[in-house]
C-alpha cells in the first residue's frame, strides 16, 4: 500500500519514520462539518494489508489530542476512546485491518463528556463506558458501513446532536489559541511565557489544561518541540548541527535536548538519525 492522502498540506509530524510508514499502510484524512470543526480536527482512516509479510510496528509521537477509534483487524474489534498518551504510542500491525478514527482538537473532547480529560490520560476505554447504549448502536452501524463517508456521517450525527453550549466553546477556543501559539512561536519555552502572553494566571492555566486537555501546558510545549526535532532529523537528510537545532527548538542546551529526546523516543537524536540512514 502506498496511498497517503494528505489534503491541505497537513503535516505528517509525529509519525516517526514517515517514509517507511507510507510503504506499510494507507492514511486518509477528511475534514468535519463546519458545526463540528471547532471540536474535531479531522477524521482519519488507516488501512493495511500485510498478509505474507512480517508485522510492522508504527511509533507515533502523539499530539495533545483525544481520539475516538473503531478498530478492526484479524484479532478482533475495539471501539474506544484514547486519552492523550503520556509517552510514544506504538501500534503493531498484523495481517490486514483498518481503523476509523476521530481526532479531537486539544480540549475538544471535554464538552461532549464533561468530565476532566485528565481521567483518560494514558488510557484507552470502550466508548460505551462513556456514552452508554446510544454508542453501542452507532458502533454497530459504523462497522457495517460500506464507505468512509458513511462512517463520517454516523459520527457527525452522533456528536452533532451533542454540541456543547457556548461556555464550553469559549474554553476550547482559548485552549486552541494557546496550543497554536506554542506551535508557531519557539520563544515559548515556559508556562510563564504563556501565562503572560494570554493574561491568565499560571495556576488557572494548569487547571484549564488538566480539565480540558488532560496534560499540562509544560508537557505540550516539550512535546511539540520534540515532534519538530524528529521531523527535521528525518527531513533534512543529513546530520544536523545538533547544538543549533537544540537552540532553535528552545532547549536550554544540547544536553537537555538529548536527554528529553531520549526519554521520550528511547534513543538519542544521533541514534535515531543513524536508523534513518543519515551520515
Q: Cα(92)–Cα(87) distance, rounded to whole angstroms?
A: 16
Q: Say how far residue 204 (Cα) sits from the centre of its chain.
A: 24
Q: What pLDDT was estimated at residue 153?
A: 97
The answer to whether the beta carbons of residues 100 and 141 sit under 8 Å apart is no
The answer to whether the beta carbons of residues 109 and 96 sit under 8 Å apart is no
- Nine cell digits for residue 268: 538519542
Q: What pLDDT was estimated at residue 8?
A: 42
Kindly list the distances between the CA atom of residue 175 and the CA atoms of 10, 14, 76, 108, in Å, as whole numbers in the listed order.
Answer: 20, 20, 36, 9
- Positions in the chain short of pLDDT 50: 1-9
Q: Which of the 8 DSSP states describes residue 164?
A: P
Per-residue pLDDT tens over the stretch 187-218: 787 889 899 999 989 999 999 999 999 999 98
Q: What pLDDT was estimated at residue 276?
A: 65
Q: What pLDDT was estimated at residue 159?
A: 96
- Nine cell digits for residue 213: 486537555
Q: Cα(176)–Cα(184) distance, rounded to whole angstroms?
A: 12
Question: Following DSSP, what letter does each residue of 127-184 receive, concatenated?
Answer: HHHHHTHHHHHHHHHHHH-SSHHHHHHHHHHHHHTTPPPHHHHHHHHHHHHHHHHHHH
Nearest of 136, 154, 52 to residue 100 by alpha carbon: 154
Q: Which of the 8 DSSP states describes residue 15?
A: B
Q: What pLDDT was estimated at residue 270?
A: 80
Say how many CA atoms lie within 13 Å of 59 toward its Cβ. 12
The kind and range of the H/E element at 230 are: helix 217-235
Q: Where are the domains of the chain?
A: 7-160
The kind and range of the H/E element at 260 are: helix 254-265
pTM score:
0.83
Amino acid at each position: 500500500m502506498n496511498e497517503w492522502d494528505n489534503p491541505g498540506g497537513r503535516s505528517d509530524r509525529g509519525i516517526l519514520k514517515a517514509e517507511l510508514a507510507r510503504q506499510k499502510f494507507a492514511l486518509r484524512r477528511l475534514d468535519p462539518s463546519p458545526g463540528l470543526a471547532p471540536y474535531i480536527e479531522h477524521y482519519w482512516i488507516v488501512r493495511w494489508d500485510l498478509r505474507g509479510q512480517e508485522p510492522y510496528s508504527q511509533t507515533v509521537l502523539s499530539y495533545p489530542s483525544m481520539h475516538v477509534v473503531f478498530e478492526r483487524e484479524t484479532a478482533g474489534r475495539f471501539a474506544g476512546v484514547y486519552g492523550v498518551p503520556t509517552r510514544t504510542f506504538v501500534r503493531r500491525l498484523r495481517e490486514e485491518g483498518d481503523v476509523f478514527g476521530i481526532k479531537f482538537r486539544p480540549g475538544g473532547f471535554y464538552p461532549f463528556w464533561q468530565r476532566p480529560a485528565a481521567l483518560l490520560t494514558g488510557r484507552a476505554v470502550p466508548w460505551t463506558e462513556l456514552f452508554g447504549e446510544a454508542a453501542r448502536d452507532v458502533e454497530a452501524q459504523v462497522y457495517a458501513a460500506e464507505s468512509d463517508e458513511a462512517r463520517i456521517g454516523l459520527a457527525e450525527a452522533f456528536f452533532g446532536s451533542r454540541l456543547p453550549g457556548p461556555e464550553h466553546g469559549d474554553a476550547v477556543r482559548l485552549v486552541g489559541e494557546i496550543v497554536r501559539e506554542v506551535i508557531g512561536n519557539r520563544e515559548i519555552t515556559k508556562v510563564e511565557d504563556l501565562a503572560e502572553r494570554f493574561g491568565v494566571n499560571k495556576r488557572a492555566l494548569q487547571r484549564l489544561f488538566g480539565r480540558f486537555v488532560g496534560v499540562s501546558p509544560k508537557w505540550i510545549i516539550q512535546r511539540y518541540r520534540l515532534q519538530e526535532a524528529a521531523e527535521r532529523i528525518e527531513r533534512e537528510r543529513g546530520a544536523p548541527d545538533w547544538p543549533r537545532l537544540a537552540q532553535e527548538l528552545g532547549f536550554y542546551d544540547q544536553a537537555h535536548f538529548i536527554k528529553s529526546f531520549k526519554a521520550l523516543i528511547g534513543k538519542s537524536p544521533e541514534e535515531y538519525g543513524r536508523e534513518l540512514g543519515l551520515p
